[in-house]
C-alpha cells in the first residue's frame, strides 16, 4: 500500500483542502513512524495507509481518513495529542485520542464478568465516548480488519487470542453498526484461525462447487430477470457472496449438514421503489415455493441499526434451496456501510435526526447508568451480556420497535420501556394472549405489559433458575429497588430467606454466621441485608453451602467420636462415573441409604468384598458401623458433569389439589430428571399432602433449581431435600 494508491481511492467529491489535510496527515505519520517495522518486516507506515484505504472505500470524510493515518502516532511515537490538535485541529486529535483509548475494549473482553478491575470505568467512559463519535469505532474496526488480514507472521497462540476477541467484540460491533462488509470479513478471518480444519474443508467444498453454483445462479438470475421485466419492474439481480462463518453458524444453529444451508446459494434484488420490493417478492413466490418460517420483512420492521430488506427462502430450480434478499438502492447502501453512510464526505451535519436514531440502540444499553448508580460488576455484565448477544425485535402496542437480547422475557421488555413499568409489572399479553412472565420473546411479537397501580418487584425475579429476567439491565434495576428499601426490612427479609433456603437444602449443622463467613462478611446484619436486597441470591447461598465440604473441614461429630483412619491420598478409579480421593485403588460404591452426591461431605466405609461404600457424613447408619473400617474421603476434581447421575430424595408438603402430581412430574420431565420412585399421603383433617420422591440428578445446582421450581407451584407449602 502506497500514498499514491490511497490518493486514487479518495472520494471524487473531496475538495482541494480535504486532499491537502489527508496529505499532511500522511507526511506526519510517515515521518513519526520512521524506521519502525511490522512483524512481517514491512515498514510500519503500510498499516495506517491500509486502515485509511479501508475507510476510503466506505467514502468517509477527510478528517476520518486523516485520523486513520495518524491513529498509532500518539501511542507509538514521540508525537502526542496536543501536537496533533495544534497541527490538524481538535476534531482530528479527538478521533486519534479516542482510538488510542479504545484498546481498553480488548482488555475488558478478557475480564471475568464479576471483575472489580478499575478498567471497568475505562470501558464505561469508552462506550460513552463511542456514542458521541462513532468514527472512533469505524477507525478501530478498520485497524482490526487490516491486522486480521496480516496475522500470518505472529505466534499461533496470539492469532487465536486476537481471533477470539474479533468474534466476541469487533464483529458484533460491526454488525450492530450495520457495516456488513467488514463484519463478514472479520468473521471469516477469525474463523480461519480458530477452526482451521473446518474452515479449510468448507472453503474446498465451496470451491469445488463454484462452477456449478455460478451456472445455477446465472440461470436463476435470467429466469427472475425475465419475469421482473415482464411485470415492468426495473431490477438489478446479483449473486450474493458466500461467507464461510455464516454458513457454519447456520449449520450449528439448525443442526443441518452443509448441503441444507439455505444461503449457500443466494440472490440480491435491487429495485428503485419500496412498492416494487413487495411486487418482486410476489414474483419470486410465484416462480418458486416458499420455505415455511424463512420469511422476514425488515422493511416494515427495520432493525434498530436501520437495516431494511425483504428476506425469503424458496425451493428453487432442481429442488435446491435458494435465499433471496430484496431491497431498494438506498437500503442496499445502508446495508453495506451501515452507520458509516452518515460520515460520507458530502455530509455536513454531525448530529441530525437520522444519526440519532441510528445510535439510539447503543445509548439504550448504557442509559440506565446515568439514571441509577451501579458498580463495575453490573456495568461490565450488562455490556458483555447485552451488547454482544443476538437480538430479537418486538413491538409495543403502538407499533414501536424494541430491540432486546435474544432470550429476553416480558419483564426485560418492561424494564426496557421504563423502570416503573418493570417494578409494577404483574402480567403480559403477547399478540393479545396472556402469557407467563418467563415467556421467551420472539421477533415480531407485540408485547403489552399489565401493571398494578403501586407495588414493587418480586425477589423471585432475581433467581436465574426461574427464568423471569435474562438481561443484566433488568436485574440491576430490581436489585437497586431492594437496595433502597429500609435496612431493617431487608434484614428481616434476608433472615427469612436464609432460614427457608437452609431448610430446603436439608442443612441444619451450620449457623447463619458460618454462612456469612462463606461470603467473607463479618457482620451478620450486613449479610442478611444483602440477602434481603437481592445482592446475594438463594442460588449463591445454595452453591456456597453445598460446597462447604470442598472449602473447609466442618465439625463432624460422628466421625470424631468413631475416630477415623487416614488412607493414602491417591485418586481411586472412576467407579460408577465418579472419582473419589482417599480410597486408594479400591472400588467405590454410592450408598443408597443416604444417596450422597457432589458436593456433599462424605466418608468411606470399607465393606467385605464390595469395595468402599460412600456415605454422607450425616448418614444415621454411620453410628452402626465399625470405626476401624471408616476412611476419610473426598470428591475428586472431576466436574459435576463427569460424575454422572446421583440419587437424591426430596420431600414436598402441599395442600392437595387436582393436578399437583402432574405439575411436579412436568417439572422433572422438563429438567430431564429420572423419577425413580414416589409416594404421596394426604391427611384428611387438613387436606395436607406429603409427597416424597427419589430423583436421579446431575448435580447440586440442578437440585436447587428443581426445588425452586416446585416451590413456586400453587398450594405448595414447603419443599426440601430429605436426609437418608
pLDDT band for position 100 (cuts 50, 70, 90): confident
Q: How many CB atoms lie within 10 A of CB 349?
A: 9
Q: In terms of pLDDT, which residue wins out, 366 or 621? A: 621
pLDDT one-digit tens code per residue, 163-198: 988 887 788 778 777 788 899 999 999 999 999 998
Q: In terms of pLDDT, which residue wins out, 70 or 108? A: 70
- Contacts of 553-561 with C-beta under 8 Å, sequence gap 24+, read 554/509, 554/510, 554/514, 554/601, 555/509, 556/601, 556/603, 556/617, 558/617, 558/618, 558/622, 558/623, 559/603, 559/617, 559/622, 559/630, 559/632
**CA neighbor of 382 nearest in space, from 705, 127, 102:** 127
pLDDT one-digit tens code per residue, 678-723: 888 888 777 888 898 888 887 777 888 888 888 888 888 888 887 6
* 327 pLDDT more than 70: yes
pLDDT of residue 20: 95
pLDDT one-digit tens code per residue, 481-492: 887 777 778 888
Q: How many CB atoms lie within 10 A of CB 648?
A: 25
Query: Are the CB atoms for 485 and 533 separated by under 8 Å?
Result: yes
Total-model pTM = 0.51
Q: In terms of pLDDT, which residue wins out, 581 or 529? A: 529
- 403 in helix, strand or coil? strand
pLDDT of residue 523: 87
Bridge pairing between strands 588-590 and 612-616:
parallel
**In the block, which residue shows the cell 428453487?**
316
**In the block, which residue shows the cell 441530525?**
352
pLDDT one-digit tens code per residue, 222-267: 999 999 999 999 889 988 766 888 888 877 766 667 666 644 578 9
Note the helical H segments in 521-575. Answer: 524-532, 538-546, 548-551, 557-562
pLDDT one-digit tens code per residue, 202-229: 888 878 777 777 888 899 999 999 999 9
CATH numbers and ranges of domains, the chain = 3-202 (1.10.3210.10), 206-339 (3.30.460.10), 389-483 (3.10.20.30), 487-546 (no CATH), 557-642 (no CATH), 645-722 (3.30.70.260)
CA distance 653 to 496: 18
DSSP secondary-structure letter at 484?
Answer: T
pLDDT of residue 26: 95
CA distance 252 to 325: 22
CA distance 362 to 129: 11
Alpha-carbon distances of 545 from 492, 550, 704, rounded to whole Å: 21, 10, 11
Q: Specify which residues 58 forms β-bridges with.
A: none
Q: Annotated active-site positions, please?
A: 75-76
Query: Are the CB atoms for 80 and 74 separated by under 8 Å?
Result: yes
Amino acid at each position: 500500500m502506497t500514498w499514491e494508491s490511497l490518493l486514487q481511492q479518495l472520494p471524487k467529491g473531496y475538495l482541494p483542502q480535504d486532499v491537502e489535510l489527508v496529505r499532511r496527515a500522511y507526511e506526519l505519520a510517515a515521518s513519526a513512524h520512521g524506521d519502525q517495522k511490522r512483524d512481517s518486516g514491512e515498514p510500519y507506515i503500510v498499516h495506517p495507509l491500509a486502515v485509511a484505504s479501508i475507510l476510503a472505500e466506505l467514502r468517509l470524510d477527510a478528517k476520518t481518513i486523516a485520523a486513520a493515518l495518524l491513529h498509532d502516532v500518539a501511542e507509538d511515537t514521540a508525537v502526542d495529542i496536543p501536537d496533533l490538535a495544534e497541527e490538524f485541529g481538535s476534531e482530528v486529535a479527538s478521533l486519534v485520542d479516542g482510538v488510542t483509548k479504545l484498546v481498553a475494549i480488548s482488555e475488558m473482553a478478557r475480564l471475568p464478568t464479576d471483575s472489580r478491575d478499575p478498567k471497568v470505568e475505562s470501558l464505561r467512559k469508552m462506550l460513552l465516548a463511542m456514542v458521541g463519535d462513532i468514527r472512533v469505532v469505524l477507525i478501530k474496526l478498520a485497524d482490526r480488519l487490516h491486522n486480521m488480514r496480516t496475522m500470518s507472521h505472529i505466534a499461533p497462540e496470539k492469532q487465536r487470542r486476537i481471533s477470539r476477541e474479533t468474534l466476541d467484540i469487533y464483529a458484533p460491533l460491526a454488525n450492530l453498526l450495520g457495516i456488513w462488509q467488514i463484519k463478514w470479513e472479520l468473521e471469516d478471518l477469525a474463523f480461519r484461525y480458530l477452526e482451521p480444519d473446518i474452515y479449510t474443508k468448507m472453503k474446498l467444498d465451496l470451491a469445488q462447487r463454484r462452477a456449478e453454483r455460478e451456472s445455477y445462479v446465472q440461470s436463476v438470475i435470467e429466469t427472475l430477470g425475465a419475469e421482473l421485466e415482464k411485470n415492468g419492474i426495473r431490477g438489478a439481480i446479483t449473486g450474493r457472496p458466500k461467507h464461510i462463518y455464516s454458513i457454519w453458524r447456520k449449520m450449528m444453529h439448525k443442526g443441518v449438514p452443509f448441503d441444507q444451508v439455505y444461503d449457500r446459494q443466494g440472490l440480491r434484488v435491487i429495485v428503485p421503489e419500496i412498492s416494487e420490493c413487495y411486487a418482486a417478492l410476489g414474483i419470486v413466490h410465484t416462480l418458486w415455493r416458499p420455505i415455511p418460517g424463512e420469511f422476514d420483512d425488515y422493511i416494515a420492521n427495520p432493525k434498530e441499526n436501520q437495516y431494511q430488506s425483504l428476506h425469503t427462502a424458496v425451493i428453487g430450480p432442481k429442488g435446491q434451496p435458494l435465499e433471496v434478499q430484496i431491497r431498494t438502492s438506498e437500503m442496499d447502501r445502508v446495508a453495506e456501510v451501515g452507520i458509516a453512510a452518515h460520515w460520507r464526505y458530502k455530509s455536513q451535519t454531525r448530529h441530525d435526526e437520522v444519526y440519532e436514531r441510528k445510535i439510539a440502540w447503543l445509548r439504550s444499553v448504557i442509559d440506565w447508568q446515568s439514571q441509577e448508580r451501579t458498580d463495575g460488576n453490573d456495568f461490565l455484565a450488562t455490556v458483555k451480556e447485552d451488547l454482544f448477544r443476538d437480538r430479537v425485535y418486538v413491538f409495543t402496542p403502538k407499533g414501536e420497535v424494541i430491540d432486546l437480547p435474544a432470550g429476553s422475557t416480558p419483564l426485560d421488555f418492561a424494564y426496557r420501556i421504563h423502570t416503573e413499568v418493570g417494578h409494577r409489572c404483574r402480567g403480559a399479553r403477547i399478540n393479545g394472549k396472556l402469557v407467563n412472565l418467563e415467556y421467551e420473546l420472539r421477533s415480531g411479537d407485540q408485547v403489552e405489559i399489565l401493571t398494578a397501580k403501586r407495588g414493587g418487584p418480586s425477589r423471585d425475579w432475581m433467581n436465574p433458575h426461574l427464568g423471569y429476567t435474562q438481561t443484566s439491565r433488568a436485574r440491576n434495576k430490581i436489585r437497586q429497588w431492594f437496595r433502597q428499601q429500609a435496612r431493617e426490612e431487608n434484614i428481616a427479609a434476608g433472615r427469612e430467606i436464609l432460614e427457608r433456603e437452609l431448610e430446603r437444602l436439608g442443612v441444619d449443622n451450620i449457623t447463619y454466621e458460618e454462612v456469612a463467613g462463606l461470603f467473607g462478611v463479618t457482620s451478620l446484619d450486613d449479610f442478611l441485608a444483602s440477602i434481603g436486597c437481592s445482592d446475594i441470591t438463594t442460588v449463591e447461598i445454595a452453591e456456597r453451602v453445598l460446597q462447604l465440604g470442598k472449602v473447609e473441614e466442618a465439625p463432624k461429630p460422628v466421625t470424631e467420636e468413631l475416630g477415623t483412619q487416614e488412607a493414602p491420598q491417591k485418586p481411586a478409579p472412576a467407579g460408577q462415573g465418579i472419582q473419589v480421593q482417599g480410597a486408594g485403588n479400591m472400588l467405590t460404591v454410592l450408598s443408597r441409604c443416604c444417596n450422597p452426591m457432589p458436593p456433599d461431605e462424605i466418608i468411606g466405609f470399607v465393606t467385605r468384598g464390595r469395595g468402599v461404600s460412600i456415605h454422607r457424613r450425616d448418614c444415621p447408619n454411620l453410628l452402626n458401623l465399625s470405626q476401624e473400617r471408616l476412611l476419610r474421603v473426598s470428591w475428586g476434581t472431576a466436574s459435576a458433569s463427569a460424575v454422572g447421575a446421583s440419587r437424591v430424595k426430596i420431600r414436598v408438603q402441599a395442600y392437595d389439589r387436582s393436578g399437583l402430581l402432574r405439575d411436579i412430574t412436568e417439572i422433572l420431565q422438563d429438567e430431564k430428571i429420572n423419577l425413580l420412585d414416589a409416594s404421596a399421603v394426604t391427611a384428611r383433617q387438613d387436606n395436607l399432602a406429603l409427597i416424597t420422591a427419589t430423583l436421579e440428578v446431575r448435580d447440586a445446582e440442578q437440585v436447587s433449581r428443581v426445588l425452586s421450581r416446585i416451590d413456586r407451584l400453587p398450594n405448595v407449602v414447603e419443599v426440601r431435600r430429605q436426609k437418608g
